[in-house]
Amino acid sequence: MTVLLPGATLGVMGGGQLGRMFVHAAQRMGYFTAVLDPDASSPAGRVSHHHVQADYLDEAGLAKLASQADAITTEFENVPAQALARLAAQRFVAPAAAAVAIAQDRALEKEHFTRCGVPCAPNAVVNDEQDLARIGDDLLPGILKTARLGYDGKGQVRVRTREELRAAWDGLKRAPCVLEKMLPLAFECSVVVARGRDGAIVHLPVQHNLHRDGILAVTEVYAGNVAPDQAQRAIEATKAIAAGLQYVGVLCVEFFGLEDGSLVVNEMAPRPHNSGHWSIEGADVSQFELQVRTLAGLPLTQPRQHSPSIMLNLLGDLWFARGAEAVTPDWAAVLALPGTHLHLYGKTEARKGRKMGHLTLTGPSVEAVRAAARQACALLGLPGF
């Protein structure tokens, strides 16, 4: 495949906020864009040059996207892998269907991590009664997770005893699951890499993450946010995972840092990631420009962070801080803080737990950006960190 220069059309499966930010990055670089999403009001579809309103497996919709786009990517991992495989028969698709299929199944994902020599938390697959009976007590307490379609803490249940494990599996409708042993966590982090068709690979700095109720709340990115040796191990592990997939595109891998100083991999996302949003303002090449470059076959340059950065997730709960009626937060007060960058995703309705946007804060020093971020949290009614 030849390099696609600006003026070509880049397609994306999925119309959410990640697709919207990809579209913005592609358009800024001079590309036309096409989005396939069933929602007429999808955030990405509303800003793209073309919007194919169709189900992800709709043959006519896939054919239309293939006719409009010169190359196609995906903005979330639950786009059916078979849809990407069908598109790949006509157009260059990155990431490939095979890589996305592994990311869609926790059991396959953990097998891949093991093949790449990257340690996971002790775990066991639960497909049937026999698997449940074979689970040893050494895996408890643990977290039972559905093998497929889980995200932002959904499809996960903490269990302490065998009785709770059985009840949790019943509650998840006996779907295929993975039980992971709970480990003594010190912190969570993630690494975003971009890998080209030629095998070239670059990465963003390691991102220190704080989750609340299974949803990312705060990402901090600056020197010293993670110990240098742990950061280097996370970067090398992520590169190995990407290379093992022969991956092309942007990939994020999440890790748990344990109290003993070791790292275990949690999961991967075959796309840009919430924890990498800071890079739009905090680095000279964002994760979304990297997605454009990998899809178009453009050279990859190592991103350089130019400012300490903190990203705050903005959930729909903020609109209901004063009661049952939705009230728009006081963005003017927040934007009065130095170094604030507001991103709202164009979603038509605020709902509790729904990602409505994010706020990135950049500053001349770690102390300055942390102080501004804490002020922003106070103004918005967010918990401190």
- The CATH number linked to 174 is 3.30.1490.20
User: What crossing angle do the helices spanning 106-115 and 228-244 adopt, rounded to 10°?
Assistant: 110
Give the per-residue pLDDT at 155: 82
Co-location of 285 and 241 in the same domain? yes
**Is 175 in the same domain as 241?**
no
Domain with 298, as residue range(s), is: 185-380
Residue 144 counted as an annotated binding residue: no
The answer to the question of whether 128 is labelled as a binding residue is no
User: Is residue 313 annotated as involved in ligand binding?
Assistant: no
At residue 218's C-alpha, the angle toward residues 226 and 348, to 5°, is 150
153 annotated binding-site participant: yes
Which of 91-95, 211-215, 274-278, 310-314 shows the lowest mean pLDDT across its residues?
211-215
Q: Please, are residues 300 and 286 in contact by the beta-carbon 8 Å criterion? A: no
349 is in an annotated binding site: no
| Residue 208 confidence (pLDDT) above 90 | yes
Same domain, 284 and 135: no
CATH number at residue 57: 3.40.50.20
Distances (CA, A) of 288 to 238, 280, 283: 18, 8, 11
Last residue of a domain, one of 78, 93, 108: 93
End residue of a domain, out of 38, 72, 93: 93
Per-residue pLDDT band for 321 (boundaries 50, 70, 90) equals: confident
> Cα(268)–Cα(83) distance, rounded to whole angstroms?
20
Number of separate domains in the chain? 3
User: Coil, strand or helix: which one is 232?
Assistant: helix
The answer to whether 130 is annotated as binding is no
What's the rounded Cα separation, in Å, for the pair 58 and 38? 10
Give a yes or no: residue 111 inside a domain.
no
The answer on pLDDT for 144 being more than 80 is: yes
The reported pLDDT for the residue numbered 181 is 96
DSSP secondary structure of 111-132? HHHHHTT--B--EEEESSHHHH
pLDDT average, residue stretch 207-219: 95
Of 162, 181, 200, which residue constitutes the final position of a domain? 181
pLDDT attached to residue 78 = 87
Higher-confidence residue of 247 and 322: namely 247
Q: Are strands 156-159 and 177-181 parallel, antiparallel or unpaired?
A: unpaired
Say which CATH number the domain at 308 has: 3.30.470.20
Phi and psi at residue 215, to the nearest 5°: -115, 135
123 is in an annotated binding site: no
Whether 82 maps to a domain, the answer reads yes
Give the span between the Cα atoms of 269 and 183, in whole angstroms.
Answer: 22
- pLDDT over threshold 90, residue 103: yes
Asked if residue 115 is part of any domain, the answer here is no
Is 188 labelled as part of a ligand binding site? yes
pLDDT at 153: 62
- What whole-number distance in Å separates Cα of residue 234 and Cα of residue 246? 19
Which DSSP string do the residues of 333-369 spell out, in sequence order?
Answer: HHHTSTTEEEEE---SS--TT-EEEEEEEE-SSHHHH
Regarding whether 281 and 158 lie in a shared domain, the answer is no
Rounded mean pLDDT of the chain?
96
Residue 319 lies in a domain: yes
59 is in an annotated binding site: no
In angstroms, rounded to a whole number, what is the distance separating the alpha carbons of residues 293 and 300? 7
Percentage with pLDDT > 90 across the chain: 94
374 and 285 in a single domain? The answer is: yes
Tokens in use for 282?
């905090």
How many Cβ atoms sit within 10 Å of the Cβ of residue 33? 25
Residues 298, 234, 77, 243, CA torsion sign: positive
Check whether residue 132 and residue 251 sit in a common domain: no
Let me know if residue 109 belongs to a domain: no
Q: Judge residue 282's burial from the number of C-beta atoms within 10 Å of its C-beta, 0-12 exposed, 13-18 middle, 19 or more buried.
A: buried
Same domain for 88 and 33: yes
Residue at 315 is within a domain: yes
Average pLDDT over residues 114-131: 95
- What average pLDDT does range 42-71 have in this prediction? 98
Between 18 and 155, residue with greater pLDDT: 18
Q: Does 183 carry a binding-site annotation? A: yes
- Residues 205 and 319 reside in one and the same domain: yes
> Do 335 and 201 share a domain, yes or no?
yes
DSSP 285-332: S-HHHHHHHHHHTPPP----B-S-EEEEEEEGGGGGTTSSS-----HH
φ and ψ of 79, to 5 deg: -60, 130
Whether 233 and 158 share a structural domain: no
Q: What is the largest CA-CA distance in the chain?
A: 59
31 is an annotated ligand-binding site residue: no
pLDDT (tens digit, 9 = 90+) per residue, 331-381? 999 999 999 999 999 998 999 999 999 999 999 999 999 999 999 999 999
151 is in an annotated binding site: yes
- 114: tokens are 């093991």
Q: Is residue 190 part of a domain?
A: yes
> 68 in a domain, yes or no?
yes
331 and 195 assigned to the same domain: yes
Tell me whether residue 104 is annotated as binding: no
Whether residue 64 is found in the same domain as residue 79: yes
Q: Which two tokens stand for residue 262?
A: 């070791």
56 is in an annotated binding site: no
30 known ligand binder: no
Answer yes or no: is 305 a known binding residue. no
Whether 150 has a binding-site annotation, put simply, is yes
